[in-house]
Amino acid sequence: MDRSYRWVIVAAGGLLGCVAMGAMFSLPVFLRPMSAQTGWSATGISTAMTFGFLAMAGASMLWGGLSDRFGPRPVILAGSAGLAASLALASRAESLVEFQLLFGLLVGSATAAIFAPMMACVTGWYETRRGLAVSLVSAGMGMAPMTMAPLAAWLVTRLDWRDAMLIVAGVAAVLMIPAALLVRRPPAMQDGGAQPGPNQSQSGMTVREAVRSPQFLTLMLANFFCCATHSGPIFHTVSYAVTCGVPTLAAVSIYSVEGLSGLFGRLGFGVAGDRFGAHRVLVLGLLAQAFGVLSYALVNELAGFYAVAVVVGFVYAGTMPLYAVIIRENFPLRMMGTIIGGISMAGSLGMSTGPLIGGLIYDRAGTYAPMYVASWGLGLAAMLALMTFRPFTGPECSNVRPGSHPVAP
């Protein structure tokens, strides 16, 4: 029963991620109606998203630690209920500052309660095909631009933005709370979750030792640069395409192409990670991502943007789940939430830099080309950081031949 139930965990994780990320990233859809009806500036409303990324960064490690201690279900359930409540409160905000706090800080914090605990839970349910499993959960999150965003867009064309956001809150509650109740602690946690997977040498590691280890710090650094690499291009590519003469509606469709390609990327990288090793595949993926985002600076027509979007979407979406696989292979299961939360914190901080830096570059240079060059440099930094990563070693692993797995005593 445990073996079959793990697919229920994957399905629940995909649904939870899709609704949570979709609800948070629906803000751009509400931007124009909110600005028109309230008089709030577009910059002010958009700042709520920056607050959201910062709140995700600050809350990720906390939620992950709580999931290690109490199990993933109560944490994810609290996050699901909190997300719905925060959206409902944000829909009633009477001032811009109130909205920034309610949507940015509360929605961002609640969303953080989904990702790290869910990824930690999934990695604990799988000993084989782990890359595919976490990629399927991530693919659910990637469905958000094609599900929740169109729903929000349809609602705001028919209703006041406040009522539309309130309905999104209701949808989140109806879908996420039952899905959260399906989440169960991995069976391996019944023995304390000490095993780090193939490498048994770190079974006695404490959380303090883990977060101070070079392996943890290296993964944090790589994920920070990785997310900083694609955050600017994700946020500014539509504007860049418009400055190149691409019609606005056509420019927006570039995001859809990236999102669709990303679904295949998550699955492709997951399968490749299982077959060739997550670390090796992730290094190559980061290299491809760096040159992919640089390619945006070389195109100025819609067909070129579509071609680059296919590559960039495939690569950047595919690389993200592999961090969780590497973490599971090197750290004890009992601290998966904390470690994945810490890596997610670094990624959220990286995501928060792109929109701001890209805007500053455009304001000063009058072109987005330098932003893509800077993103290329950040992508190379991510790859180089990950290349320095070395798995833990210990006496239990000293006599193990490369490519084999140690046998537990």
Going along the chain from its start, the domains and CATH numbers come out as 1-186 (1.20.1250.20), 205-391 (1.20.1250.20)
Q: What is the spatial distance between Cα 181 and Cα 177, in angstroms, rounded to a whole number? A: 6
Query: 3-state class of 158 per DSSP?
Result: coil
**Rounded distance between C-alpha atoms, residue 54 and residue 49, angstroms:** 9
Q: What percent of the chain has pLDDT over 70?
A: 91
**Rounded distance, CA 122 to CA 13, Å?**
8
- How many C-beta atoms surround the C-beta of residue 311 within 10 A? 18
Res 320 pLDDT > 60? yes
Q: Among the listed ranges 150-154, 215-219, 291-295, 374-378, which one has the minimum average pLDDT value?
A: 150-154
Interatomic CA distance for residues 8 and 14, integer angstroms: 10
Phi-psi region of 275 (alpha: psi -120 to 50; beta: other; left: phi over 0): alpha
Number of other residues whose CB lies within 10 A of the CB of residue 86: 24
pLDDT for position 259 = 79
d(CA 246, CA 302): 6
Non-local (6+) Cβ contacts of 246 within 8 A are 301, 302, 305
Amino acid at 73: R
Give the pLDDT score at 41: 80
User: Tell me, what's the pLDDT at 396?
Assistant: 37
The alpha carbon of residue 152 and the mean position of all alpha carbons in its chain are separated, in whole angstroms, by 21
Q: For the chain, how long is the longest CA-to-CA vector? A: 68
Name the nearest CA neighbour of 321 among 375, 275, 285, 276. Answer: 285
The predicted pLDDT at position 231 comes to 86
Cβ atoms < 10 Å from Cβ of 353:
18
Place of tokens 């989140």: 172
Ramachandran quadrant class, 366 (left: phi over 0; alpha: psi -120 to 50; beta: rest) = left
**Integer Cα distance of 272 and 123 in angstroms:** 17
pLDDT band at 85 (very low <50, low <70, confident <90, very high): very high
- d(Cα 65, Cα 341) in Å, to the nearest integer? 8
Q: Is residue 128 scored above 60 in pLDDT?
A: yes
Mean residue pLDDT of the chain comes to: 84
Chain-centroid distance of CA 168 in Å reads 21
pLDDT at 298: 92
Contact 17, 138 (CB under 8 A): yes
- Most confidently modeled range among 58-62, 225-229, 364-368, 403-407: 225-229
pLDDT for 151-202, tens place per residue?
A: 887 888 888 889 999 999 999 999 999 999 999 888 766 555 444 445 445 5
| Cα 369 from Cα 294, distance rounded (Å) | 9
pTM, full prediction: 0.76
Which pLDDT does position 364 carry in this prediction? 84
29 close to 149: Cβ distance less than 8 angstroms: yes
**Whether 341 contacts 61, CB under 8 Å:** yes
Q: Of residues 104 and 170, which shows the higher confidence score?
A: 170
The answer on pLDDT for 399 being more than 70 is no
Helices (H), 126-160: 130-142, 144-156
Q: Which of 4-18, 142-156, 264-278, 385-399 is the least confident region?
A: 385-399
Give buried/exposed letters for 88-126 (b at 16+ CB in 10 A, else e): bbbbebeebeebbbbbbbbbbbbbbbbbbbbbbbbbbbb
Residue spans of alpha helices (H) in 157-213: 161-181, 207-211
pLDDT number for residue 104: 85
How many C-alpha atoms does 136 have within 13 Å on its Cβ side? 17
Dist CA 264 CA 266 (whole Å): 6
pLDDT confidence band for 221 (50 / 70 / 90): very high
